[in-house]
Amino acid sequence: MKLDFWPKNTHVFLVGAGGASMSSLAFLLRAGGYAVSGSDSRASERTAKLEEAGVRVHIGHAAENIEGADAVAASSAVPQDAPELLAAKERGISVYSRAELLSLVAGCFRHTVAFAGCHGKTTATAMCAHVFAACGADPSAHIGGEDLDYGNFRAGGSGWFVTEACEYRANFLQLRPETAVILNTDADHLECYAGPAALAEAYERFARGAKQCILCGDDPAAARIPAALTFGLSERCAVSAANLRQSGGRYSFTLRLRGQPCGRVRLRAFGRHNVYNALAAASAAFLCGFPPELIVRGLQEFRGVRRRFEPLGRFCGADCIADYAHHPREIEAAMEAVRVRKGGRLIVVFQPHTYSRTRLLFEDFVRVLSRAEHLVVYKTFPAREYFDAAGSALTLSQSLPRSLYIETPRELEIYLRCSLRPGDAVLFLGAGDIYTAARRLLGAKL
């Protein structure tokens, strides 16, 4: 791959380099020939990988970190008064947002496929990268999670670029992909929009900014947005799954492209929701002209993404699974996937992600989580936000009579040791540090 939006000797500094998207961009910039360094508030597995790849990462924020930098970029989670950003502005160094940087990278490729939606972006993007690779396209990819084979990026050729497109703060409108894929339009990040109608309009603008659009035909947005292709489980969709079967939580189906059966797909990732992700990836490959038999092969080569229904091991005789679900619909899908797979008791440990999401979708969270017979609500992961009692984990727990509120990993360990029995399943849900707590509980290497 070749990146040429800056001169060859440009040194770019990334603030928040340890984030999923920012670290992916760091790897891609490095592979494209630029000098890259960055900073983050804490050391992590990602910052360690960046260091191994030759990207110097400062732990802690300070103005002197940007010494020698020609350009600075920052993630949305970084406050505008971060020392590196203030220093860059004082010195006249160009500052870019994460979305602007992603747009610059995407512009270097002949073809870009961008996946948007409230849920499924990471998995569908990773699936698509595998499909395009199986088709011989040698794609480059920007993945917002850890694909079990690629990690969070793939540095391939300069022909095809596959990326996530995030609706947070309408960041996806910075992209002008050749192919836009809209997985779903469920309400999320409403703190950034005037309401659901404004969010829907943003999706429409994203679709109009692309040369061609692919939509989930089972989503309400399909009726509003013109699409070159639709996918879904209903027969009216151009790309669909026939003869859907399930075994141990994994699904298989006959892929149908414009009504024609094209082979049997056996997914290795768990959950019915991944059928939709697979259909989205297949739709992108089909619309881009790749052979159906290779599309089927690529879907079956995809093994999964870390923290997306990831088996962690056993604790006190119970199977432990981690999932990134932090939206009511995602929680619902994860719980269904466990129940299909196992017949024993299900203990759900859910960590709310941001106070605003919990407050704005409070009734939906209560509706979905009330179905859990054994529920722990773990202290909110605030991310970029300040405390808000109306959207706190404690307030949510108080609205769920059968739930237990827990604040620390030690309390969680004591509860599980006293409660679990062989044959149970524990589902750790959330996009925050509950994953770290769960892995440490099981003694997994971080």
Binding-site residues sit at 117-123
Closest-CA residue to 215 (of 234, 235, 229): 229
Strands (E) across 165-283 are located at 179-182, 212-216, 229-232, 239-247, 250-257, 260-270
Q: Give the count of alpha carbons within 13 A of 92, CB side only.
A: 0
Helix boundaries (H) for 312-430: 328-341, 355-360, 362-369, 393-398, 409-419
Binding site for ATP: what residues are annotated? 117-123
Helix (H, G, I), strand (E, B) or coil at 131: helix
Helix boundaries (H) for 237-321: 273-287, 292-301
Alpha-carbon distances of 169 from 76, 202, 354, rounded to whole Å: 9, 10, 15
114 beta partners? 163, 180
298 within 8 A of 131, measured Cβ to Cβ? yes
CA distance 84 to 67: 10
214 beta partners? 181, 229
